[in-house]
Amino acid sequence: MRTIKLTIEYEGSLFVGWQRQKNGIAVQEVIENALEKMTGEEIKVIGAGRTDSGVHALGQVASFSTNFPHDITKLRDGLNSILPETVAVIKIEEVQPSFHALRSSKGKHYRYKMFVSPIKRPLYWGRAWRIKYDLDLDLMSKACKLFPGVHDFKAFCAAKADVKTTVREIFSIQLAVSHEGLICLEIKGKGFLRQMVRRITGALVEVGRGYRNISWIEDLIEKGQRAEAGITAPPYGLYLVEVYY
């Protein structure tokens, strides 16, 4: 058996997310179906993390075992010809048998894209979050500095998440404005709770628009209570950029 690592890009608009669901088509599912066509084996892939419906990926990672006997670039090209236009294997590697896309992961890089405009912008539809009010980016950058480190992120976790602990480590959060005027939050951390990036983004936007002040975020991080955490940014602005190993 060979252990294979896939790096996958997808446009998430038409998927129910990474993981198989009953109510639609998942990215995992189209990859497993394509793998079965290419290898004749029933393969279950392990993803580095679940992404919600509408979330995009530039570098999702998945691993699996196979007896595929040929050059693996042939497997990559075969998969890409079978996969829909919205999913691609951008890299394929044979790795040590101990490699596990989820358990071997040392961290992840997410990007959240948004823009300020009173009017909808069709070319960003499904790709970035439109904010209707002006944002104080300096204040948001200041608030970003509160997150790095090990904290109880209970206040930034989806209510229905079933996890042992809500303590997580954030490496860095940085705010940058792209050439085209998109506001990009670059969030890197060891691990993330369900909806954590979207809830952090939502909280930063509430500060940026002047609806909350920085001490509110400090309280949320220190007290670790879910009660008053603000809005959750929509999924379509979120990109899984890279998984670290």
Distance of CA 194 to the CA centre of its chain: 10
Task: Pick the closest to residue 57 from 7, 119, 123, 95 (CA basis).
Answer: 7
- Determine whether 52 is an active site residue: yes
> Other C-beta atoms within 10 Å of 221: how many?
19
Minimum distance from CB of 166 to a second copy (Å)?
31
Write out the binding residues for a second copy, residues 183-242 only, by CB under 8 A: none
Which is closer to a second copy, CB of 125 or CB of 211?
125
Write out the binding residues for a second copy, residues 34-63 only, by CB under 8 A: 56, 58
Q: How many residues does the chain have?
A: 245
Task: Confirm if 158 and 149 have CB atoms less than 8 A apart.
Answer: no
**Which of 52, 138, 162, 219 is labelled catalytic?**
52
Distance of CA 212 to the CA centre of its chain: 26
32 binds a second copy (CB under 8 A): no
Pairing between strand 238-244 and 107-116? antiparallel
Residues in CB range of 123: below 8 A, 6 or more apart: none
Which is closer to a second copy, CB of 22 or CB of 179?
179
Write out the binding residues for a second copy, residues 65-124 only, by CB under 8 A: 76, 80, 85-90, 119-123
User: What 8-state DSSP symbol labels residue 123?
Assistant: G
Q: Which of 6, 10, 51, 61 binds a second copy (CB under 8 A)?
A: 10
Which is closer to a second copy, CB of 184 or CB of 204?
184
**For the window 163-182, what string marks contact with a second copy as x by the rule CB under 8 A?**
---------------xx---
What is the set of active-site residues?
Answer: 52
